[in-house]
């Protein structure tokens, strides 16, 4: 991934507007946040392969960035985004990393379902 | 205890790549160096890990295949030549039917007939996947006739393990295989840098700080989990 370039990410987001899109949305402070890092609790939420459609997409802020996706009846939101990548399959990956490179938040958009595991991909190849 | 004797077969049952190495690699290496064949059941590929290397070289979608390669490298360092991937998904093991996870572990147990099964100590693994995997392993072992059951060596992650579980049943001095242990741990490059950078700094610093870290690294603790039935 590379540091977010606002214009590139804005253009990438807009390519998904109006279509059925598979969403990966995630935030985490680490499974050992409470055990080893002195925080009150480990917090994590993720959706993998939520099928969504949005009518407006906007990146905002200065590093780190926020992204809001406006749906007909709701919002998708992520804060703390630092890096992005459009991979070889045209999927948009956005992530927020802390100073030690650990992922804290991710928002990813794809026209095809996100794989559920490397083993699944192998089955498809067979 | 600085030596172990060859045993019939060692079976490791863990949910994530690196669980088999962090805190346990020295013991595994002592067993395999003594000629013990070893099998690793790894439940997931740690797909949801937040460590992406430092500087980052993985992302959410490339992480699973990177961690799979790291796991294969670690297995070579450990002398584990039989790796079974269950294909479950990171953070979701506890939401699977434990009986079905146990089915898959049981099949491997019946195939390789382990004398020792290493897993997390049930309920004291801290990570929910750790506890789900050890729970399923215990279910699988319980299905065997008593005389065929492997001894369960449990690793406790909780900070106050000794006050909860008492003195460990085994404390192994793995200083004779420390280089190999470090090779197994460092094979998990994407995770190791984020988790052990302070330890590496202490090792580089030398003196009493280094000695303290070395003392922790060369001691591995296990509690036997006894099945009541």
Complete domains list, chain B, with CATH: 10-159+169-225 (3.40.50.10320)
Q: Is residue A20 within 8 Å of A49, Cβ to Cβ?
A: no
Q: Taking the model in full, what pTM does it have?
A: 0.93
What percent of chain B has a predicted confidence (pLDDT) above 70?
Answer: 100
Q: Which residues pair with residue A26 across a beta bridge?
A: A46, A106
Mean per-residue pLDDT for B211-227?
95
How far apart CA B85 and CA A8 sit, in angstroms, is 38
Q: List chain A residues with CB under 8 Å of B193.
A: 101
Rounded to the nearest integer, the mean pLDDT of chain B is 95
| Contact between B153 and B206 (Cβ < 8 Å) | no
Please state, in angstroms and rounded to a whole number, the distance separating the CA atoms of residues B129 and B98.
11
Q: Show pLDDT as tens, one digit a residue, over chain A (126 residues).
A: 999 999 999 999 999 999 999 999 999 998 887 777 778 899 999 999 999 999 999 999 999 999 999 999 999 999 999 999 999 999 999 999 998 899 999 999 999 999 987 676 666 554
Pair B85, B45: CB distance under 8 Å: yes
Answer yes or no: is pLDDT of B148 > 70.
Answer: yes
For residue range B154-212, what is the model confidence (pLDDT) as tens digits?
999 988 999 999 999 999 999 999 999 999 999 999 999 888 988 999 999 999 999 99
The DSSP call for residue B122 is T
The pLDDT confidence band at residue B229, using thresholds 50, 70 and 90, is confident
Residues of B in contact with A115 (CB under 8 A): 61
Nearest CA in chain A to B197: A100
CA distances from A68 to A8, A25, A55, A78, A82 (A): 16, 12, 11, 7, 15
At A125 the pLDDT is: 54
Residues of B in contact with A101 (CB under 8 A): 51-56, 193-194
Domain boundaries, chain A: 2-125
The pLDDT tens digits for B60-109 are: 999 999 999 999 999 999 999 999 999 999 999 999 999 999 999 999 99
Which CATH number among 1.10.1380.10, 2.40.100.10, 2.70.180.10, 1.10.3720.10 corresponds to the domain A2-125?
2.70.180.10
Query: Closest chain B residue to A92 measured between Cα atoms?
Result: B61
pLDDT at B213 over 60: yes
- Please check the confidence at residue B143 and state whether its pLDDT lies above 60: yes
């Amino acid at each position: 991934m590379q540091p977010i370039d606002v214009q590139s990410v804005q253009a990438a987001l807009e390519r998904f507007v109006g279509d059925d899109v598979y969403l990966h949305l995630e935030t985490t402070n680490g499974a050992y946040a409470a055990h080893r890092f002195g925080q009150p609790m480990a917090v994590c939420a993720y959706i993998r392969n939520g099928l969504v459609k949005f009518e407006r997409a906007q990146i905002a802020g200065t590093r780190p960035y926020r992204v809001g996706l406006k749906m007909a009846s709701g919002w998708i939101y992520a804060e703390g985004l630092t890096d992005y990548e459009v991979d070889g399959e045209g999927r948009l990956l956005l992530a927020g990393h802390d100073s030690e490179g650990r992922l804290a938040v991710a928002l990813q958009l794809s026209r095809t379902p996100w794989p559920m595991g490397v083993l699944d991909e192998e089955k498809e190849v067979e | 205890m600085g030596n172990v004797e060859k045993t019939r077969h060692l079976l490791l049952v863990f949910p994530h790549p690196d669980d088999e190495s962090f805190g346990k690699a020295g013991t595994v290496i002592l067993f395999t160096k003594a000629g013990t064949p070893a099998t690793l059941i790894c439940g997931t590929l740690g797909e949801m890990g937040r460590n992406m290397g430092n500087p980052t070289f993985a992302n959410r979608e490339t992480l699973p295949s990177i961690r799979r390669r790291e796991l294969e490298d670690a297995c070579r360092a450990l002398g584990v030549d039989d790796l079974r991937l269950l294909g479950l998904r990171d953070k979701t093991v506890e939401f699977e039917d434990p009986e079905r996870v146990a089915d898959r572990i049981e099949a491997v147990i019946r195939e390789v007939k382990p004398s020792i099964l290493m897993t997390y100590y049930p309920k004291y693994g801290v990570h929910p996947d750790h506890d789900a995997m050890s729970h399923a392993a215990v279910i699988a072992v319980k299905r065997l006739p008593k005389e065929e059951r492997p001894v369960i060596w449990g690793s406790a992650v909780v900070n106050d393990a000794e006050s909860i579980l008492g003195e460990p049943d085994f404390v192994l001095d793995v200083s004779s295989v420390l280089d190999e242990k470090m090779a197994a741990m460092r094979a998990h490059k994407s995770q190791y840098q984020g988790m052990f950078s302070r330890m590496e700094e202490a090792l580089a610093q030398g003196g009493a700080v280094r000695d303290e870290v070395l003392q922790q690294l060369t001691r591995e603790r296990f509690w036997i989990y006894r099945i009541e039935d």
